[in-house]
Structure formats: C-alpha cells, structure tokens
Amino acid sequence: MPDSAPHTASAPQAARTVLAFDFGKRRIGLAIGDTLTRTAAPRPAVAVHASGPDWTAISREVRDAHADVLLVGLPLQADGSPGMLTPAAREFAAQLRERFALPVEHVDEWGSSLEASATLAASRARGERPRRVRKGEVDSAAAAVILERWLAGERTLTYAG
C-alpha cells in the first residue's frame, strides 16, 4: 500500500556569500565564493602592518562582497595540533566577529599554500599566466583553497588550546 503521508520537500536555503581569509603576519589572502555556485575566486591580498591588518581594505571587501559568513583558515599542524600562528589567527577571527557582527568559521588550512603554489605554477607553465607568481597571489589562492574545503563540507573546527 502506498504511503499516504504528505511528502514535504525541504525549503531551499538562500545562497550565502562567504569571504575567506588566509591569515599571515605580512599579508592576508582573501577569496570570495557562495553556497549556490560552490565556487571560490581569489581577491587581492591585504597588507598586515606593524599596527595590524589593513582594516580599511578588509572592511571594503566585506562591504563590497555583502558577505554573510567570514571564514578564517586555521593554521594547524599536520597532526591537527595548534601551530605557531593558531592563536594569532583565532584573535584575527575574533576581531572580524567583533567588527562586522557576522558569523566566523574556521577550516584547517594545512597545506593550502602548497596546493595554491602548485596550481599557480602549473597555470604559468601552461602559459595561462604571463608573469611570475607573486606572494600575495599565493596567499589569495590559498584562501580560495580554504573556501573550497569549506564549501566541500569541511566545517567549523574547534581545538583545545
């Protein structure tokens, strides 16, 4: 006998725009993506000065992106333990949360810069890039890798530390 209970489909979730950050002491790579297309695109990296990140540039990116979620790569070791930059990345995430009142999530960024460097080098070898790869481009490509991981289902990380 067929099931007579009404079938209810889940309401589709609205697409969310995500701005990802690859935190560093000299530069912060950025990438933008959304949950509808599930794609990530690098944005220009922002400088980190002795006084801290270039908050004017970060504010402009958050505003222009109409971001719904901010994502910070968490620099963990290969075994998942906190790395040297983990506390600073967590502090940066807390500052983002405070300044923009948006949800901030983390994804393990382990290997993202190596993956980004390899992808950019391969692109240059194929003649798709006319010039040498710059460090800021690697940082932003790493932010795109971090965002792609999040879009693939690697969600918020927590750690004891």
The reply to whether 139 falls in a domain is yes
The CATH number given to whatever domain includes residue 72 is 3.30.420.140
The reply to whether 69 falls in a domain is yes
Q: How far apart are CA 102 and CA 69, in angstroms?
A: 6
Say if residue 5's pLDDT is above 50.
no
The reply to whether 115 falls in a domain is yes
The reply to whether 1 falls in a domain is no
The reply to whether 66 falls in a domain is yes
Is residue 151 within 8 Å of residue 38, measured between CB atoms? yes
Q: How far apart are CA 148 and CA 32, in angstroms?
A: 10
Question: Cα separations (Å) of 140 from 14, 83, 100, 149?
Answer: 26, 20, 21, 14
Q: How far apart are CA 137 and CA 150, in angstroms?
A: 20
pLDDT tens readout for residues 44-69: 999 999 999 999 999 999 999 999 99
The number of folded domains in the chain is 1
- Domain residues for the domain of 97 are 17-151
Share of the chain above pLDDT 70, in %: 75
Q: What is the pLDDT of residue 135?
A: 76
The reply to whether 80 falls in a domain is yes
Q: Please give the mean pLDDT across all residues of the chain.
A: 82
Q: Where are the beta strands (DSSP E) in 75-161?
A: 104-108
The reply to whether 3 falls in a domain is no
Is residue 94 within 8 Å of residue 126, measured between CB atoms? no
Q: Which residues of 108-120 are buried (b: 16+ CB within 10 A; e: fewer)?
A: bbbebbebbbebb
The reply to whether 5 falls in a domain is no
Q: What is the pLDDT of residue 26?
A: 94
Q: How far apart are CA 15 and CA 13, in angstroms?
A: 6
Could you count the other beta carbons within 10 Å of the beta carbon of residue 22?
30
Its pTM stands at 0.80
